[in-house]
Structure 1
Amino acid sequence: MEDLDTLVLRQAAQWRDGGLAAVLVTVARTWGSSPRPPGSLMAINARGETVGSVSGGCIEDDLIQRIRDEGIDAVCARQRPVLLRYGVSADQAHRFGLPCGGTVELVLEPLQAHSLIPELLAACTARQSVERRLHLTSGQVSLRPADADGLPRQEGEEFITPFGPRARLLLIGAGDLARFMAEMAGSLGFEVLVCDPRAEQQASWNLPGVTVSPEMPDDLVQRMRPDARTAVVALTHDPKIDDLALMEALQSEAFYVAAIGSRRTALLRRERLAQHFGMNAKALERLRSPAGLYIGSKTPAEIALSIMAELVACKNGVTLPPQAQVEGGKAAQAPQKGLRGTA
């Protein structure tokens, strides 16, 4: 499953390949509260069909009507991007369903051959970080290497939007928990890989968009070279499968490395990684185990939700208090139980 921005770009490219005129809409800036952050994308074609969202409300309806009134062929023939602002007045904010005080500035860009959408998609597929520079007078576009993160910005006559590679998630172990996590991660726009050398675990996997590998997990981690947009989660409870992969992941740039298990299991795992594989305390501090947030989870689906919530918080740069995590939460709830309990 693709993330929403990639889906918008791919659909817009397909419309143009099929001879349909299309307009790309980007949230350039916001003030106050707004439903969608800067950089959010939406595309509209000549039939009034849309993909993506810039507000989740009436702004989309107004944009479609504006383009219908002018005629999309006339919009695209003009070639020049247009800036629109919604929510300047209280009446307009109410009309378009914006939160009180919210203002959204949009860039409407008629797509042309020089818009470089296929080239942008290729860069994203290759996990390259680029910035797309749109000249607001001519409509010309260029792509340049850039940092993975950042907000859209305007520099003189250029509107610049950063694009980074999709976040990806490697799940070690192909059981029920991995299936629930894969489904959630796919809906959140992650590229999902599942690794399990056990043939009996691989046999029933058929989730669309999920890559399943029979390699030993440590070999796969070495080969994929996790970057700062990669998460690795060990789910098998088997040290022969998990430990070496965790060791490799903890020495990579992966933004999230975790393993399931009880608090006692987590303690024993850290001891093994330190004593048998020579991992130092700094590297082991990066290991999130027991994985997840403390929500009293019992079933595989609930545990998957717990882990994905922590993972997404980490991806978004949110620092959570220790009591929000499984270990701290359980200790606070039932300190007399010591190290007993599940993740």
Structure 2
Amino acid sequence: MDSVDLNVLRSVLEWRRAGQGVTLYSVVQTWGSAPRPPGAMLALREDGMVIGSVSGGCIEDDLIARLHDGRLPQDGPPVQWVTYGVTREEAARFGLPCGGTLRLTEERVGDPAWVAELLARCEAHEIVARELNLGSGEVLLKPASKTDVLSFDETTLRAIYGPRWRLLLIGAGQLSRYVAEMARLLDFEVLICDPRKEFVYGWEEQHGRFVPGMPDDAVLSIETDERTAIVALTHDPRLDDMALLTALNSRAFYVGALGSRVNSQKRRENLAQLGLEPQAIERLHGPIGLHIGSHTPAEIALSVMSEIVAIKNGIDLLQKKPSQVTAQVSA
């Protein structure tokens, strides 16, 4: 779940607890090209205030207009359907790509207890399935796995929610600042660990949260899971390798370390001497980043985040070959 979804649900909870009426829209199906994927959400408050997005903007305008001109049902079934883009004229009117069609659920939110529970479970880094009965409006929350996807069978909508993706940076140097900024723009929760007090100056709280202790302790303390990436950027093996020894045996979906090809090979040999199993060492990304000819800190940060996002999205990195690795600062 990204922060847009989290903010939608937080607002739904706040508005309902304040006694305000809320209609929750969810993208259920798309045909052809569509601006937002299935699962995207928008909450509409009874006074027309909105949060979230289900399109590029035109459909949001129409949903607000439905409220103000009386087209939004105030009674009847708690869940109804809204479809946009069936005709060419409608697609043009709402800014949908040629042939694009969008189907939404229109759900009147009653008791917000399920919203509070869902948010709490996401904050606890659980993956949760929300099952919405389209006839009764009843909501059930059940455990889910990272491979589950949104589904519906015309009677039940099963949507998957989970914690935000996280990035733990080992080291608070200049490169880490660029990586942190890009990661935040990409909606990662940024965590930083650096026991060297000299590097902490100038970091603002909004740039990321510092995790105290040594790098190996930090990897353990954040309860690393399948939605966590860990990148070692200190260029000091006494710190980087401490983190890697623990991270490579964790459930992190990405573990990488800064360094040239030569230094990356030396690091792998060192990790083997320290007792790390070969299958764990094979998980290490190093040199890190996609090949974009990067040289400056900002370019290297872009390269690193491109690789992390690609792996997060299930892209096979065939373009990254031993002869085409990202240019890195040598040790």
TM-score, normalised to structure 2's length?
0.93
Distance 1:317 1:53, change over 3 A: same
One-letter code aligned to 2:285:
R
Alignment match, 1:342: 329
Shift of residue 182, structure 1, vs aligned partner = 1.7
Distance 1:310 1:330, change over 3 A: closer
What is the number of equivalent residue pairs in this alignment?
A: 329
Structure 2: gaps spanning 5 or more residues: none
Tell me the alpha carbon deviations over residues 248-274 of structure 1, each in whole angstroms, 9 at most, x when there is no partner: 111111100001112222121111111
Choose from 197, 201, 204 the match for 1:203: 201
Choose from 314, 323, 327 the match for 1:328: 323
Shift of residue 224, structure 1, vs aligned partner = 2.7
Alignment match, 2:275: 278
Alignment match, 1:22: 22
Shift of residue 341, structure 1, vs aligned partner = 5.7
Choose from 130, 135, 138 the match for 2:136: 138
The answer as to 2:295 corresponding to 1:298 is: yes
Choose from 254, 257, 260 the match for 2:255: 257
Q: Secondary structure at the match of 1:70?
A: coil
Distance 1:208 1:231, change over 3 A: same
Structure 1: gaps spanning 5 or more residues: 332-339
Shift of residue 115, structure 1, vs aligned partner = 6.1
What is the distance in 2 between the residues matched to 1:97 and 1:324? Answer: 37
Alignment match, 2:4: 4
Residue pair 1:149, 1:162 contacting (<8 A) in 2 also:
no
What is the distance in 2 between the residues matched to 1:117 and 1:79? Answer: 20
Q: Superposed, which structure 2 residues align to 1:237-252 within 5 Å? A: 237-252=235-250
What is the distance in 2 between the residues matched to 1:174 and 1:306? Answer: 18
Alignment match, 2:286: 289
Tell me the alpha carbon deviations over residues 282-314 of structure 1, each in whole angstroms, 9 at most, x when there is no partner: 222211111111112222222111111100100
Residue pair 2:165, 2:228 contacting (<8 A) in 1 also:
yes
One-letter code aligned to 2:323:
G
Shift of residue 37, structure 1, vs aligned partner = 0.8
What is the distance in 1 between the residues matched to 2:32 and 2:279? Answer: 40
Q: Secondary structure at the match of 1:208?
A: helix
TM-score, normalised to structure 1's length?
0.89
What is the distance in 1 between the residues matched to 2:57 and 2:158? Answer: 25
Distance 1:148 1:304, change over 3 A: same
Shift of residue 214, structure 1, vs aligned partner = 2.9
Q: Larger % of helix: which?
A: 1
Distance 1:202 1:91, change over 3 A: same
Q: Which moved more, 1:308-317 or 1:100-109?
A: 100-109
What is the distance in 2 between the residues matched to 1:236 and 1:121? Answer: 34
Tell me the alpha carbon deviations over residues 120-145 of structure 1, each in whole angstroms, 9 at most, x when there is no partner: 11111111111111121221211111
Residue pair 2:178, 2:297 contacting (<8 A) in 1 also:
yes
Question: After TM superposition, where is structure 1 displaced by more than 6 Å over at least 4 residues in a row?
Answer: none
Residue pair 1:123, 1:130 contacting (<8 A) in 2 also:
yes
Distance 1:341 1:256, change over 3 A: closer
One-letter code aligned to 2:150:
P
What is the distance in 2 between the residues matched to 1:251 and 1:157? Answer: 42
Residue pair 1:44, 1:50 contacting (<8 A) in 2 also:
yes
